[in-house]
Amino acid sequence: MFNPWMDFFPENLVNLSFESIHGLKGEKLEVEGLIRSEETLNLEGETETLNLKTFKKEDLEKRVFEISPLNDYVTVVGVDISLRKIGNTKNGVVCAFRGTVVWKDEYAYHYTRYGPLLYHLTENHAKTVFGLKFDGGNPNHNLGKIQFFVEKVFQKHVLRNLKNSIVLFDGCLSTQMVNVETLNLARKNNNRVLAFAKKSRLYSWSEPLKVLREKFSPCILCLNDLLSESFKSTCLGWVFLAKLSKENFLFRLDVDKTLALDEAVQTVRRLIGNEHFHHGYPETLRIAHSLSILTRVEVIAIQRFLTEKLGIKILRPENHRRMLFGPFGGW
């Protein structure tokens, strides 16, 4: 199965981590006063709103088809990463990355977790290492770019080491989030790539799409020909609305578009035959998310590590609202 050893891990990610944080010695790091429970990054494209072409409800219902599980064994692999900002320096931003690969064999779930790796991202790093151009104004925006970059490197690393598997990504198969080469690599190794999006919103006639809710058994609705041309041009997958368990949780499910539609549907059937679904969401992805997320305790631990090992001085930003308005300043 998946070869977890570090020999296969993208060297540039590790080296960049060591190099960039080494240059941090003795610097000052401004951290947020309040560490929130989830990532605070508001990434571009993370929440998508898809307005379908004006289709009548009856017409949409005709396009829904129920699917039955295919039980021939295939390994299901979930991949997720987490990138979290730790603080700002005078030249850039320090962030922590953690990536997790979870797979299920006949007996149990297994994982390999990489990180946390720390990066001090300056404009120089962005250009030389990532080949990205930093937007001077918004550090969070830059961090979003880095997240996509790191995610792509990580996806490639995973797919390079897998064969004959169904690989699940968190998000969607857009050009922003997945490289075409990565999907080619997947097919070369006989892997099927799918992506589950939690934050996409699907609307029809300005109303949330409710079709499939009445269905009891797993079913999917192919949306590709309903989407706008501009959307389709950035999308590398068949876009389905999927309900894969009895509970009324619907997800946008993308399947590698280079597969024929039949084959894409077969892959979804094989997935439901080989994976557990909790509220319609695959367990491997859920575990991968849980294991990769950087908790508030871990953020504090990272801050302590930076202070202890690199002599970094932690600064809290002045909160003018709090200073001016006291308890009415929104603590």
Partner 1 sequence: MKLFKKEDETIQILCFPDEDVRKGDYLMVEDFRSGRSLLVQVIDIRFANFPGLMEDLLRDELTEKIVFGDDFDPLGLETQITLLRDVRILLGKIRCSIEDGKLNMNISWLPSRTHSRVYKVDALRLVELLKLGKKRPLKIGEMNGGLELAIDVDGLDGGLTIITGRKGTGKSHLSKLLILGLVEYGAPCVVFDVNGEYVNLGLDKNGEKNKYYERIVVLEPTKNFKITLNYAGKHILANILTYTLGLPQTSLREFFRVWDETIQTNHLTIKKIVERVKVSNLHEHIKEALLSRLYTLERSGFFTDEEFKLVRVEDVLGRVSGGGVIVLNLSRLPNLERKIVVEFMLGKLVELLKRWFVKAIFLFAEEAHLYLRETYWEDIVTRMRHLGLFTFFITNQPDSIHEDIYRQVDTFFLFNFKNENDLNTITKVSKVDSESMKSITYSLEPYHCLAVGQATKEIPLIIKVKELPVKTMGETRKFFS
Q: Which residues bind partner 1 (CB under 8 A)?
A: 4, 6, 9, 14, 17-18, 21, 35, 37, 102, 108-118, 287, 290-291, 293, 295-302, 304-305, 308
Give whichever of 30 and 283 is closer to partner 1, judged by the CB atom. Answer: 283
Nearest-approach distance from CB 58 to partner 1, in angstroms = 43
Polymer length of the chain:
331
Residue 318 carries which side chain, given as an amino acid letter? E
Give whichever of 301 and 314 is closer to partner 1, judged by the CB atom. Answer: 301
Give whichever of 3 and 138 is closer to partner 1, judged by the CB atom. Answer: 3
Residue 253 tokens read as 């499910």
Helices (H), 105-138: 123-125
Give whichever of 175 and 307 is closer to partner 1, judged by the CB atom. Answer: 307
Give whichever of 102 and 244 is closer to partner 1, judged by the CB atom. Answer: 102
Which pairing describes strands 64-66 and 75-88: parallel, antiparallel, or unpaired?
unpaired
CA distance 126 to 122: 6
Nearest-approach distance from CB 46 to partner 1, in angstroms = 21
CB of 166 closer than 8 Å to CB of 271: yes
CB of 8 closer than 8 Å to CB of 2: no
296: phi then psi, degrees, rounded to nearest 5: -65, -35
233: phi then psi, degrees, rounded to nearest 5: -65, -25
